[in-house]
Structure 1
Amino acid sequence: MTAPSSAVDTPLENSVTLRFLASPTDLGHSGSVDAGTVLEWVDKAAYAAAVGWAKTYCVTAYVGNIHFADPVVVGDLVEVEATIVHTGTSSMHIRTVVSSGSVSGDDGGKRSECLVIFVAVGPDGKPVPVPAFEPRTDAERLDSDHAVARIAVRKDIVEEMRRQEYTDAGTAERTVLRFLAAPTDVNWGGKVHGGTVMDWIDEAAYVCSTRYCGLDTVAVFSGGVRFLKPLRIGDVVEVEARLVYTGHKGMHVAVHVRSGSPRSREMDLTTTCLTVMVARDDEGTAVPVPPWAPRSEEDRRLHEHARNLLLIRSRAPGSVLPTHLRPGSGGNE
């Protein structure tokens, strides 16, 4: 006798695809959709996939190895596909791909891809177990193996970034944005949306890099986006971006997000990131930037830190770093 439908175990869906039009309000300083907005889309799609799998509230823990290819244009039909490829005890590793093209479908293509890690939490905010993901196809096994292989690389990146200190002894270009976290920044858990934080990071990196080179800049890579603590609505937020390394065309910008109550002067570090920006001419072509020469001991340490991150990322299995991320002779890329 066939069991009632309510008693049948329905396999969990490990993939979610969001489809929408890039609207005029998505237009950024670059003349197309900025990287920060794309990262907001990524976070929302990955959140939907995570909650659908875990059946509980989930929080963003890490976003890594994000390469931005061709830009998304206002009016494009956008697809953001988020697929769970590996699970830990309470974590879900989610491969997220952003594609876009004209509504007619003639010029579509992949615009960015990254791995997002969400953690399932219970009502008390503590991690809770999630169902194990078991790959069923060769493609799923390949994606799962790739995610597992990146775990050791990610640990090295996190440790390398954790050991760094940023003080006033640094002499490089630096930008600090300050504002209040607004009610419109809220996520489904009542805190600031992780995608919104990544948008702030992109804005700060843009200002820092543009002031340094005097040209329009755009993000081509973000990595090591680690969410340490949640930001509360109404908090004072500081987003500090500092130049730490330059290549031929790329500017590596370390970004730190801090927040705290307006009733206190205490600020907690909530998010860290390393973003690579490139300068563009009036036609949108990447152009060389002035080389930055470290002057203080802190400058030299952070310069070496940026190179170490390049080397760590190059060890990722199957990793093919674009030219602007490859360490070359003489300290340039």
Structure 2
Amino acid sequence: MIKKFKSIEASQLTITELMLPSHSNFRGKIHGGHILNLMDQIAFACASKHSSNYCVTASVNKVDFLNPIDVGELLTLKASINYTGRTSMVVGLRVESENIRTGETKHCNSSYFTMVAKDDHGKSTPIPGIILTNKDEIRRYARSITRQKEGSHRTSRFSSEAFKTEDYLPLLAKSNAKIEFPK
């Protein structure tokens, strides 16, 4: 029997991994793709732990690489359920690196992964809700709802049926683009 609600703490996860030369580019910085892979893994684990089901990534909301990560640093990823819908959940992620010698830590990025729980037949399946216990948890939950609404508005505004080129020409005039329609 599925629980109706679970605490956020019940599925929170933290992983720490040493960044190796095999994870780096030619300048000794860690590849963003490697970081994204780790983020997807911890989002999967957190969502699966909450839902008690296999989960898939439905979307990733904005990943900004704020600070480079060097070979030899410890990378810590933290994951927590921020929002639950009927079959989906938003996993909030925070990535930090630590210089082992100096102890200096850097916030490298934060992101939000929308994960969907799947049953044994690959169909979306209901999940437990979350229990909100403080102001920050309520803020994160409300922010997830707002982000979803803004995302659907953004998508519909730029659909090919609704988009009006003339509305955006002034915006393009100030950009590094040139419009040349074929004759």
TM-score by length of 2: 0.77
- Pair 1:264–1:174, CA change in 2 (3 A): farther
- Matching residue of 2:135: 297
CA distance in 1, matches of 2:143, 2:24: 34
Shift of 1:189: 3.0
- Matching residue of 2:158: 318
CA distance in 1, matches of 2:88, 2:124: 9
- Matching residue of 1:308: 146
User: In the alignment, does 2:102 pair up with 1:259?
Assistant: no
User: In the alignment, does 2:33 pair up with 1:199?
Assistant: no
- Matching residue of 1:248: 86
Native 8 Å contact 1:171 1:296 kept in 2: no
Native 8 Å contact 1:171 1:299 kept in 2: no
User: In the alignment, does 2:64 pair up with 1:226?
Assistant: yes
Deviation beyond 4 Å, 4+ runs, structure 1: none
- Matching residue of 2:176: none
The residue correspondences of 1:1-333 to structure 2 (distance < 5 A) are 171=9, 173-316=11-154, 317-318=157-158
Shift of 1:187: 1.7
- Pair 1:179–1:277, CA change in 2 (3 A): same
Shift of 1:302: 0.8
Deviations for 1:159-197, whole angstroms, at most 9, x for unmatched residues? xxxxxxxxxxx7573111101011111123321001111
Identity of aligned residues (%): 26
- Stretches of structure 2 lacking an aligned partner (at least 5 in a row): 1-7, 160-183
One-letter identity of the residue aligned with 1:192: I
- Stretches of structure 1 lacking an aligned partner (at least 5 in a row): 1-169, 320-333
Deviations for 1:75-127, whole angstroms, at most 9, x for unmatched residues? xxxxxxxxxxxxxxxxxxxxxxxxxxxxxxxxxxxxxxxxxxxxxxxxxxxxx
SS at match of 1:220: strand
Higher relative contact order (CA 8 A, sep 6+): 2
Q: Which range moves more in the overlay, 199-208 or 188-197?
A: 188-197
Shift of 1:276: 0.5
Deviations for 1:128-169, whole angstroms, at most 9, x for unmatched residues? xxxxxxxxxxxxxxxxxxxxxxxxxxxxxxxxxxxxxxxxxx
Native 8 Å contact 1:191 1:231 kept in 2: yes
CA distance in 1, matches of 2:120, 2:21: 37
CA distance in 1, matches of 2:150, 2:13: 27
Aligned length: 151
CA distance in 1, matches of 2:13, 2:158: 35
TM-score by length of 1: 0.43
One-letter identity of the residue aligned with 2:57: A
SS at match of 2:113: strand
CA distance in 2, matches of 1:175, 1:267: 19
Shift of 1:318: 2.3
